[in-house]
Every structure is written in C-alpha cells, then in structure tokens.
Homo-oligomer: A and B are copies of this chain.
Amino acid sequence: MVDGGSILAVDTRRNISADFASDHLVHLEDHVLIPGLVNAHTHAAMTLLRGYANDMSLMEWLSKHIWPAESRWVDEQFVETGTDLACAEMIRNGTTCFNDMYFFPDVAARRSETAGMRVCVGMIVIEFPTVWAKDSDECIQKGLDVYNQLRSSSLASVCFAPHSPYTVACETLSRIAGLSHEMACPVHMHLHETAQEITDSRKRYGESPIERLDRLGLVNRQLNAVHMTQVTSEEIQLCAERNVSITHCPESNLKLASGMCPVADFLAAGVNVAIGTDGASSNNDLDMVGEMRTASLLAKGVSGLPDAMNAHASIRAATLNGAAALGMDREIGSIETGKHADLTAVNIMEPATQPLYDPACQLVYCASREQVSDVWVSGQRLLESGILTTIDKERVLALAGEWRNRIAT
C-alpha cells in the first residue's frame, strides 16, 4: 500500500483491503517484487562512450582513449544526452537510484530528476584541468554550489567524489575529510582498483592508498570505497572496524583485468558491500540484474566456496547495502513501512525462469533485465509493462546516434 510516495503498509491483499481504501490497484500475478535496485557506482553520461575502447587495461584505456575523448567532447549537452540514455537504460533494468561521478553533476541531477529517478551526484574532484574545472579548488567550489542548488530536491542528493588516490593530492583529500565530516556528507571514491595503483602509492607515499586515506582522515563510515580488488586481510579488517562501505564492480574489474575483489572475505568480516556497474564505457552496460548474477557467481569462483555470496546476499548488496553506502538506508533499500515507494517488479513467467523453486535464486541466477516489467520511484511509475513513461526513448536514441557520428569520425 503506497500513499504520497511512501510505503504505508506491507501485508496480504486481504488485510490491506480491510484496513485501507485505494483508488488504484496493480495486479502482478507472475512477478517478484523487490526494492528498487541501487547502482552504487557509475558514470552515467559515459553511455555515449559505450564500446568506444575495449580490451585494454585501465590506465591505457583512461589515458589514451577516455580522457582525450572526454576533453574533446564532454560538455553540458553531452552530459544531458548521456544521462538521459543512462536513465532510460537503468529504469528499464529496475534501477531506481544511482550514485554518479561525472562532470557537470548539476546537469546529471537535473536530467535524473526529470526522468523521475533518485540520484546521488558526486562533487567530482580532480587536480588536473578538465572540462568541468581548472583545478581541485574550483572543483570543490563548483561542487559546493551544486550542493546548495540541490538542497531542496526530493530526488537528488550530493556527496564528495574525489576521483582516486592517484588524481587527488593529500592536501585536497584532507580538506574533503574535514568538509565531509562537517557536512555529514558521504565520500565516493575509486580505491585499490589495480595492483599498479598500490605499487605507485607505496613508491610515492610509502603507504598503500587506504593507509594514506586513513592518515588524511577519510577512512570512516562516510567512505564508499569503490573496487577494492587488491587488499590485504588487515585492510579488510580496517574497513570492517571503521564501518567503511565498499562497492563491488565485478564486470568492470574483469573487463579491464583490474583484479577480482575478495567479496566473500569482505562479507565475512561484516563490511557493508554494495554493487555498482561502473560506467557503460568499461562494462559495457548499466545492468544491475546482470551485475548481481556476476557478483554471486564470481564470489564463488574467487573464494572456491560454492555458498559464497548467495542469491539473498547479492539482492541485499544491490538494494539495502547500496542505500547504506549512500547514507540513505533509512529512506530506501527495502520494502518497509515508512520508506519511499521505490519498487521493481520482475515477470518470471518466461521459459528462462520457470519452473520456480526459489524466487531469490531465480532472480539472481536466471532473470534478465528485460524481465523487469514495472518500476516506481516515490510511487511514480517510471516503467509500465516494459514501457518508459518519463523518457522519450526514440528521441534519446536519435540524439545518442548523433553524438556517435560526431565522436567516431
């Protein structure tokens, strides 16, 4: 039972009918209803660079292809169309909230609100000049402006997003640590993504990236550490003790051959593990249904334990744990009275998902993104029987095609 965008009650149809009068009843007989999926790490507008460069390592991909393309092409219009395309894709696959890190976060927030999606946009911080700002000082100042602009938004929130240990200086990280503490604002950051990152950090600072962040005051409950493919057991313990959230991006880590996050060890240590797709340029999709499957399967393969990250653990990681990583687990992430009505329905009456012995296993190990039939955010139906209600799909596909023609020539 939903009212005013919130969940009023969760009960049997009989009890709901006895207690409430409703003017709108939705029947979904062949479906599994889950909390809306939370994509805890993405770069939404990079959909326009989907498949632009493939089959190479992170640093080659970034420095030879992505960074040059971004400095040549990214502007407000790019972020507008790229975010629209990302929202179309994400709503279609049951995602209701995403944690974004990209240039022009104000534009990304505006487009997500227009699509009706919940979003946390990052105040991106990079030392070197980008299309967004000339240095980290300007990044922080422009980020804080976006923060102020979005204070009254019901769908968009803001966090700090220092890009990575290798693109942000100690002094800047210290400043972000202070601000995030004062403002009670999460910090979203790539961390321990590749072996090279660790080696370089040890050479330059005499410590691993997370040790360096700890020295600078960032290793705490507000940190959402993305990737964490290369970690010692002491570093996993540190994350557990400090209530750090980690965001596991299994497909991006595999595709770039960055490494494989020991997610079973993080879970065993009690760390809050969320799931993210990363950007569409290194995945190459924003499919949280597929990402849950890869997360569960890979956890078993990496740990050698067939019961590692079972279906329930992946669903939790993709919903409630994602919400917690964004500091939003009191508002979203589960189907509970009082929370926002962010809901996803999946039609499992298809050959690939029948017969049905266990709904959680069916969802994680067999269902596909196209089986998502209906999606609501704060009670607004963004997908109805597979049709987008807030985005003009044909128009967005046409605009994306125009960007492709510009970029590829």
Contacts and interface: CB of A to CB of B under 8 A. Distances in A.
Interface string A279-294: 0100111110010011
A51 B349 contact: no
Interface stretch (A15-23, A118-126, A248-256, A266-274): A248-256
Interface stretch (A154-162, A297-305, A332-340): A297-305
A311 interface: yes
A112 interface: no
Contact of A403 (B297, B305, B355, B396): B355
A254 B301 contact: yes
B85 A306 contact: no
Copies in the complex: 2
A356 interface: yes
A171 interface: no
A255 B52 contact: no
Given A55-B310, A56-B306, A368-B368, A357 B254 contact: no
Given A257-B305, A290-B290, A306-B257, A355 B57 contact: no
Nearest to A195: B304
A100 interface: no
Interface string A26-65: 0000000000000000000001101110111100110000
Contacts of A349: 397
A333 B253 CA distance: 31
A401 interface: yes
B397 A253 contact: no
Contact of A285 (B298, B366, B393, B404): B366
Interface stretch (A3-11, A86-94, A134-142, A185-193): A86-94
Contacts of A284: 361-362, 365-366
B256 A306 contact: yes
Give the one of A89, A354, A362, A365 with max B CB within 10 A: A354
A294 B398 CA distance: 30
Contacts of A240: none
Interface residues of A, number: 71
Contacts of A408: 357
A263 interface: no
Give the one of A307, A310, A350, A365 with max B CB within 10 A: A365
A68 interface: no
Given A54-B311, A251-B297, A253-B301, A351 B92 contact: yes
B366 A301 contact: no
Contacts of A168: none
Interface in A62-98: 85, 88-89, 92-93
Given A56-B306, A57-B306, A254-B300, A355 B260 contact: no
Contacts of A350: 92, 397
B283 A365 contact: yes
Give the one of A297, A305, A396, A404 with max B CB within 10 A: A297
Given A51-B358, A368-B369, A368-B370, 7 more contacts: A47-B351, A48-B355, A51-B356, A51-B361, A55-B300, A285-B366, A370-B370
24 contacts: A50-B354, A51-B361, A51-B362, A51-B366, A54-B358, A88-B351, A254-B297, A257-B301, A257-B303, A257-B304, A257-B306, A260-B301, A280-B366, A283-B365, A285-B366, A290-B290, A294-B297, A298-B301, A351-B396, A354-B401, A354-B404, A355-B400, A368-B370, A370-B370
